[in-house]
């Protein structure tokens, strides 16, 4: 999972409606961190952040698709998300993200950090019978 470049973050707010967005991320042991970065967004009042404030249970998924189905795999992490801004944890998370993504070296994210404490790992990969 840690080597993947993009993941999908699933959140659900108090309204019970799921919300799924692609995200860049970094993994450190049983924690996954995501930054709200400079990429264009319709608003800084992001639904993913509002949903986490209402319901911190989240899911993050990475996968690999290939026309050769023997190469298929996916990995999922379920966990509890917290939001950090301008604190020690957000500084640690930014260091992880900057180390993984060249784009963040040029423009360090200034938005909140989502820190997911993973409570369950699951996955699948093709295996011949």
- DSSP string covering the chain: -TT-S-EEEEEE-TT--EEEEEE--EEETTEEEEE--SS--S-SS-HHHHHHHH--EEEEEEEE--SSGGG-EEEEEEEEEEEE-SSHHHHHHHHHHHHH-HHHHHS---S-EEEEEEEEEEEEE----
- 22: in domain: yes
Range of the domain at 98: 7-125
**Per-residue model confidence (pLDDT) at position 101:** 95
- 1: in domain: no
Residue 75 belongs to domain with CATH number: 2.30.110.10
**Per-residue model confidence (pLDDT) at position 72:** 94
| The pair of three-digit structure tokens given for residue 8, joined into one six-digit string | 């999908």
- 62: in domain: yes
78-95 mean pLDDT:
92
- 2: in domain: no
- 18: in domain: yes
The count of structural domains within the chain is: 1
Name the more confident of 76 and 109.
76
78-103 mean pLDDT:
93
- 65: in domain: yes
CA pair distance 65, 95, nearest whole angstrom: 30
CB 23 within 8 A of CB 33: no
Rounded to two decimals, what is the model's pTM?
Answer: 0.91
Please write the tens of the pLDDT for every residue from 32-85.
Answer: 999 997 766 676 779 999 999 999 999 999 999 999 999 999 999 999 999 998
- 45: in domain: yes
83-104 mean pLDDT:
92
Q: How many CB atoms lie within 10 A of CB 110?
A: 12
pLDDT band with cut points at 50, 70 and 90 for residue 121: very high
CA pair distance 110, 104, nearest whole angstrom: 10
């Amino acid at each position: 999972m840690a080597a993947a470049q993009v993941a999908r973050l699933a959140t659900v707010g108090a309204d019970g409606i799921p919300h799924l967005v692609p995200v860049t991320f970094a993994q450190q042991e049983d924690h996954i961190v995501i930054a709200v970065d400079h990429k264009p967004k319709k608003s800084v009042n992001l639904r993913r952040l509002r949903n986490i404030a209402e319901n911190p249970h989240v899911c993050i998924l990475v996968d690999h698709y290939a026309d050769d189905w023997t190469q298929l795999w996916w990995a999922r992490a379920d966990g509890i998300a917290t939001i950090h801004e301008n604190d020690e944890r957000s500084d640690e998370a930014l260091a992880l993200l900057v180390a993984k993504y060249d784009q963040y070296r040029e423009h360090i994210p200034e938005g909140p950090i989502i820190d997911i404490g993973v409570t369950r790992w699951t996955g699948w990969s093709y295996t011949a019978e």
